[in-house]
Homo-oligomer: A and B are copies of this chain.
Amino acid sequence: MRQDEPVAPSRQPSRPAPRRPRGRPSNPLLTVDGITAAAVRLLEERGQDGLTMAALARRLDVAPSALYNHVADKQDVLRAVQDHVNAGIDCSAFGVLPWDEALAAWARSYRDAYARHPALVPVMAVTPVRSAPHTVAMYERVSAGLTAAGWPGHLVTNVVVAVESFVLGSALDTQAPEDIFDPGDLAAAAPAFDAANRARPGGDTALAAFEVGLQALLTGLRVLRAPGSVPGEERRTP
């Protein structure tokens, strides 16, 4: 039993609807920030498919077409939501902790944020940062931290993007069902795969994979930044 019509936060308890006049209201009912906040709540409460322009309008007690006076389209709403989410990512460790620890803390906070909003992962991967102030502020903090730690300029953005790709992929993995690797009837045809799955420790498996990858990535990045400081660069050992 769904409850979609909210039984009216009624001013008049028994009238069918407190209809608004047809014309322009004396002061605006909507703002971009208000639309963004409502969209975030909708996304958190009902998930990816729950964010429709109609549902958003209903939340704001407005006709769907009213939204288009403040945003260009639905993609525009998603961009605003994305910047809001990025504002919540913690990059405060840069300039405080060593660069690798700061990178790890940022990556964990980043993954957490997008694990809560997996629908935004494809948006984040593809949306230009201009006119997304919190997003730019985040990249500034990270870039400044890496640069100050001695990373050569030509590598900084590539390192950021590499970590980000791992983080966003890991955020998606968070949404996988527990039995995603259950081979079903195909178990007999895939003995090594089946054995590996059985040997995998239980608990938060997505987190375990993320931490394995994060540690590996950081170890490799330490080598990349300061060749010679880390044993093993000669590679191959039989």
User: When chains A and B are docked, how far (Å) is the Cα of A142 from the Cα of B205?
Assistant: 19
Contacts of A216 in B (CB 8 A): 162, 216-217, 219-221, 223-224
Q: Shortest beta-carbon distance, A183 to chain B, in Å?
A: 5
Cβ A168 vs Cβ B162 within 8 A? no
Cβ B166 vs Cβ A125 within 8 A? no
Cβ A165 vs Cβ B158 within 8 A? no
Cβ B229 vs Cβ A175 within 8 A? no
- The total of chain A residues at the interface (CB under 8 A) is 89
Contacts of A185 in B (CB 8 A): 130-131
Contacts of A44 in B (CB 8 A): none
Given A130-B185, A165-B170, A220-B215, decide whether A157 and B200 contact each other with a Cβ distance below 8 A: yes
A34 at the B interface (CB under 8 A): no
